[in-house]
Amino acid sequence: MELYHVCFAVQDLDAAMSDLSTTTGARWRAPRAGTLGEWTYRIVFSVAAPHFELIEGPPGSPWDCTTGPRFHHLGFWSDDMDLDRTALDGVGKTVFDACPLGRPFSYHRIDSIGASVEVVDRSAETGFRTTWNL
């Protein structure tokens, strides 16, 4: 697996972008709205790798922030989703699988780090780079 982003689930995408720009010098692509299953969310990626990913999601979604913003996951490209998912499930548990919804990623909660690891099928990398102009 190859690390490519660090994700924070946030209550206010614009404020989080501004704060990270001020404190780290992060530069951003334009935020986008998206839908996954029943959830509509806002998302943005920083320009520099490894990327910051910020997601503003509704209550009940995988990015629910009703209790406050938080570190959500480390994102990795996977060359073998089945192998990597099995390895992660040996350490933690799958908490969200987007594959049945037509998206090639899943989140695996690792309690010892207090967050999840996301595996994303490497076949999505070209589309990701094109979409975000990275």
| Cα angle 90, 92, 96; round to 5 | 115
Q: Taking the model in full, what pTM does it have?
A: 0.94
Cα–Cα distances in Å, from 52 out to 18, 55, 88? 13, 10, 22
Fold of 2-132: 2,3-Dihydroxybiphenyl 1,2-Dioxygenase; domain 1 (3.10.180)
Which neighbouring-strand residues pair with 52? 6
Q: Where are the domains of the chain?
A: 2-132
What is the rounded CA–CA span in Å between residue 114 and residue 54? 18
pLDDT tens profile 39-61: 999 999 999 999 999 999 999 99
pLDDT tens profile 23-44: 999 999 999 999 999 999 999 9
Are the beta carbons of 10 and 56 closer than 8 angstroms? yes
pLDDT tens profile 92-131: 999 999 999 999 999 999 999 999 999 999 999 999 999 9
Are the beta carbons of 120 and 76 closer than 8 angstroms? yes
